[in-house]
Structure 1
């Protein structure tokens, strides 16, 4: 199977195990490490990186070329938005909807979705295009899964920190995909010299090279 699809499934299974950690259920209604997000809502947002994928696979794809991976982020209205902007309020509401039935039901739903995707993704053809109706625009399936893989990695850290458990570590192949995307986004935002210095020259490193 394509390494991006394999990496995505590895990260999805890792997220299931984190969501099933007793600490998540114990702190379900507590504030999370993200502003205005309770732990349950953050868990729902993490889960959505799996639960939403079957629907995207089923979405009809209109005619036209897919956008590139970085173009997808260039079009995203959430990048740079404040915590109170409607796009971020909508993200939190969506997370709460996914979490509405509680931690046990959320874990069961994500586990079932991972099993479904483990059967479906290997059968998808090379170059498969999916449509993001909320965009609206299209991406290749593998670019789309790369975006979900990054979200799984980043929000697994957010959730782990929120409930006081170790952040899950991804295998090298999956981590490489996440770091490559974040580095490319950081270069787009801050420029190549800033990112090179942050990684190699402490004396010249800028204070911030975050991707978003």
Structure 2
């Protein structure tokens, strides 16, 4: 899978353009396509995937051994499959609401500011640079991969919520996200279920949701 720092910046720019779409501001207080999320909170959650990166880079690198990208999703991402009314998911929604509290323009401005900062900064960070979020230690590059996946998924959520086309991501990002989701779906449901979902409509399982 071809992730990369420049790819993250390209994907982040796509999210910024979506956040500035007039349809987002027009639907700001409406319910989103995700349960318990208004459009504003979902937009805030999308923007947070970008603005959190410089915040973590401003912190001292954590100690400890990082987990791999695959291990992160299979052993640490406890939100996968968690009920929507858990403290964890309520906290995620509250973060999104907090990021959106000043309105759509302010949110988009913060996202653009983060992208400008990262455009020069990411290239200066050494290979193997570690970051930590909620006690999870990842390499910077693996963390950016998680943000690319989050941006891809939540850009679709937000676009559907405000009735605009889902942004087309750079082909390398789409390829990398789909490859990771396929691997995670096979881990969660078994490779046979994924094989059937992709190739045999008459034997396809009800779901192969990866996350």
Report if TM-score (shorter chain) is over 0.5: yes
Q: Deviations over 1:81-102 (max 9, x none)?
A: 1111111110110001000100
1:24 is matched with 24
> How high is the TM-score relative to the length of structure 2?
0.95
Moved over 3 A (4+): none
User: Counterpart of 2:184?
Assistant: 185
Q: Counterpart of 1:13?
A: 13
Secondary structure (helix, strand or coil) at the match of 1:138 reads strand
Q: Verify: 1:171 aligned to 2:183, yes or no.
A: no
What does 1:128-207 align with in structure 2 at a 5 Å threshold?
A: 128-132=129-133, 134=134, 136-207=135-206
**DSSP-derived class of the 2:4 partner:** helix
CA distance in 2: counterparts of 1:192 and 1:82, whole angstroms: 25
Is the 8 Å Cα contact of residues 12 and 50 (structure 1) preserved in structure 2?
A: yes
Instruction: Tell me the alpha carbon deviations over residues 104-147 of structure 1, each in whole angstroms, 9 at most, x when there is no partner.
Output: 11111101111111111112222222122x1x121111110110
Equivalent residue number for residue 117 of structure 1: 118
* 1:102-113 superposed matches below 5 A: 102-113=103-114
8 A contact 1:23–1:165 mirrored in 2 = yes
Question: 2:3 and 2:83 mapped to 1: Cα distance?
Answer: 35
The CA RMSD over aligned residues, in Å, is 1.3
For the residue of structure 2 that corresponds to 1:130, the secondary structure is strand
1:61 match: 61
Please tell me whether the aligned partners of residues 76 and 136 of structure 2 are also in contact (alpha carbons under 8 angstroms).
no
**Equivalent-residue separation in structure 2 for 1:108 and 1:197 (angstroms):** 44
- TM-score, normalised on structure 1? 0.95
